[in-house]
Amino acid sequence: MKQNGILLLAFASTFLFACGTGDEAPQDLEAPVIDHADGHEYIEPENGEVFSETADHTHVRFSVEDPSGIGQVRVNIHANFDGHTHARMNNDFVRLDVNDIYSPDASNPDLRFPAGSTRINIDGTGTDIYWTGSNSRISDPVIAGTYHFGIEATDIHGNQTGYADGSSYIATIQIRAPYAPAISISNLHDDELEGAAGSPLEVQGTVSKTDHTLSAPIAFLWIRLTEEHEDHGGGHDDHNHRIAEEYFYDKMWGSSAWLDEGNGPDLPHDEMIDLSKVLTGDDAIMVPSGEDHLDLIILAEDTNGNTTEMKYSVHVE
């Protein structure tokens, strides 16, 4: 009996020691890390990327890493120009809306990765996102304008990246189309406008309906002058609200289907607007002093909801 007691005591001591000094890994509380794909310097599409009238898709290139294992990755594209006006748009056009879920059991093999993967590298044609052509995600012409592209990732423990702390990826991109409004400036010098502090900025050019069969009359014009390199695409709601105090010049004409406060005096014309005639008198753009370079931003919208935004550098003499 005494020997049995000694054995029981030894077993209990061993058990308690194992519980107190076990080598169980500490709980993982860190979200996955989203970065560029191997062999690339940045995630694609880049923030601020503009796709021309002839472009039909965007590459999707990125990597995700997590030492515990990646659970799933979500790639999302949604319109950034949809405000709260709930406008009735032409049914011939649709917004690009993408929600791709990458996971070990994804039905699409291009979105599938091995279970338990601690790193995935996305850099293939199968994940590219098309808005026109035979591989298009949509059946009707895309609404031209500004879109948000986002990447979110979750590990096997449920730790998820977020936009608030910058661990998720967010980019503002612009999709242009040949039927969207055309904006043209003719008095650029070395790709810049030139202005003198305290004087009106001379802007020669037009905003017009194109000759494309899907082109529609101009419904809205928004012109702003702001500090150079100011980021207009970082937030989720930046195109839905007008923040006049951020701009040296901020005026609207016509009525927008997307912007909450997108209203102004009647447009002088709905097919061809001469900017040199619009930006005169009380509507002239006065160049502020104390600045070296500024950005002139012109946004035009047609009656179908297609928008075009152009940014021009202004050199202040």
CA distances for 62 relative to 28, 38, 150, angstroms: 23, 8, 11
Half-sphere exposure of 157 (CA within 13 A, CB side): 14
Assess whether pLDDT exceeds 90 at residue 92.
no
- Residue 73 contacts residue 63 (beta carbons within 8 Å): no
In Å, the largest CA–CA distance within the chain is 109
Burial of 15 (0-12, 13-18, 19+ CB in 10 A): exposed
249, 314 Cβ separation under 8 angstroms: no
Question: Which of left, alpha, beta for 190 (phi over 0: left; psi -120 to 50: alpha)?
Answer: left
- According to the model, what pLDDT value does residue 94 have? 93
- Average pLDDT over every residue of 253-282: 95
Q: Mean of the pLDDT values across residues 32-47?
A: 98
Residue 90 pLDDT class (50, 70, 90 cuts): low
Q: What domains sit in the chain, N to C, each tagged with a CATH number? A: 33-175 (2.60.40), 182-316 (2.60.40.10)
| Least confident window among 2-11, 163-172, 215-224, 304-313 | 2-11
Q: How confident is the model at residue 138 (pLDDT cuts 50, 70, 90)?
A: very high
> In whole numbers, what is the pLDDT of the chain averaged over residues?
88
- The Cα–Cα gap between 178 and 97 comes to 20
Query: pLDDT exceeding 70 applies to what percent of the chain?
Result: 83
Smallest CA-to-CA distance from 306 within 175, 206, 115 is with: 175
Name residue 69's beta-bridge partners. Answer: none
What's this model's pTM, rounded to 2 decimal places?
Answer: 0.84
Look at residue 228 in the predicted model and tell me its pLDDT: 86
Closest CA to 152 of 71, 49, 96: 71
Q: Is the pLDDT of residue 247 over 70?
A: yes
Q: What mean pLDDT do residues 104-108 have?
A: 97
Q: What is the pLDDT of residue 44?
A: 98
Task: Check residues 29 and 88 and name the one with the higher pLDDT.
Answer: 29
Q: What is the DSSP string of 242-285?
A: --GGG-SEEEEEEB-SS-TT-B-SPPS-SSEEEHHHHSSGGG--
Residue 233 has pLDDT above 50, yes or no: no
**Sorting pLDDT into bands at 50, 70 and 90, what band is 180?**
very high
| For range 278-291, the mean pLDDT | 96
* pLDDT at residue 40 greater than cutoff 70: yes
Q: What are the residues whose beta carbons fall under 8 Å from the beta carbon of 255, sequence distance 6 or more?
A: 219, 220, 262, 263, 264
Q: What is the mean pLDDT of residues 285-296?
A: 95
Beta-strand pair 218-227/249-254: antiparallel
What's the whole-number mean pLDDT along residues 72-93? 73
Letter for the amino acid at 6? I
- Residues 27 and 31: their CA atoms lie apart, in Å, by 12
| More reliable by pLDDT, 306 or 12 | 306
What pLDDT digit, counting tens, does each position of 182-208 carry? 999 999 999 999 999 999 999 999 999
Residue 136 has what pLDDT?
A: 97
pLDDT value of residue 229: 66
Q: Of residues 94 and 15, which shows the higher confidence score?
A: 94
**Alpha carbons 142 and 178: distance in angstroms, whole number:** 11
- The predicted structure's pLDDT at residue 77: 97
